Structure 1
């Protein structure tokens, strides 16, 4: 029995690590695929996952666990934030929330229209959707963590930051 326990514990530990890695990899792919689907609709190149940007995102997400507040990090990257109260608030849910701004974005005037712009813009400039589809952004790193209050906090960071007011995203 001792031999079985001694040999099975490392196997169990490795299995848990592989499952966790697979979950993380699936979530990472969900972030990438959902971003790139939105980007393809406006004809900009795909983003690629970047480990350094993802590490930054995870460190910041972990720092927000205690309060889950949507406060920007003011770091070196462009950034989108979201939170949701359900465990079903996934990578896909967060990115789709940001992309849902599209009907309110007027490319001709490069601004948001209607009441929606009160909540999401800086000087009527859509700062969420345009960050997802910013042409010069090429690297992506995101993180999703559960906060101490049970909510889920999501951050995606973009390198090159882009989203310069007055400039068109694509």
Structure 2
């Protein structure tokens, strides 16, 4: 039992380490620029990563009065399909005829799940409930959204070669958030 607990602690510590202490770390959201790249090594999200994606999202949702998200294997498979293509842009509906909410982020160095989700919520201060806008943050806290599926791929060519390989994170949300006219009942600040 001690070995398992120690392993969980180490995995948690590795997942929450601060990348700002590493030189050359770089992070951007997908809307910054759509560059195409090639996946170097993709991997399915393991149980610890699932928990980290859910925890990082649900901690923010709790503060904003939204119920916790649950994991969707179907959404995770779609997210992995897109992440493996190493296209640093939104899917624009190519994964399915169904609509999903979507957040994408990429970074180099020790760019963890928590760092990626942090980029999704970094635009929170731009939200004005009197004049609602639809942001990465609003999708994370959208009350009508109940399911989450995410993936990560290691990609070449997202950033300048001197930055090294990038971790490309893709998260999909269902039901879709950021529906025009529905922000007042779905976003609590």
RMSD between aligned alpha carbons?
Answer: 2.0
- For structure 2, the residue ranges without an aligned partner over 5 or more in a row are 1-10, 12-42, 158-164
TM-score (norm 1): 0.71
- For structure 1, the residue ranges without an aligned partner over 5 or more in a row are 1-18, 111-124
Is it true that 1:155 corresponds to 2:170 in the alignment?
yes
Q: Could you tell me which of 64, 72, 79 is aligned with 2:102?
A: 79
Which secondary structure state, in structure 1, belongs to the residue aligned with residue 181 of structure 2? coil
Aligned length: 132
Which secondary structure state, in structure 2, belongs to the residue aligned with residue 147 of structure 1? strand
Higher Cα Rg, which structure:
1
TM-score (norm 2): 0.64
Q: Deviations over 1:81-125 (max 9, x none)?
A: 111122x11111111111111112112321xxxxxxxxxxxxxx2
Contact in 1 for aligned 2:68/2:146 (Cα 8 Å): yes
Structure 1: 4+ residue segments shifted above 4 A: none
Which residue in 2 is equivalent to 1:4? none
Is it true that 1:130 corresponds to 2:147 in the alignment?
no
CA distance in 2, matches of 1:35, 1:41: 10
CA distance in 1, matches of 2:121, 2:176: 17
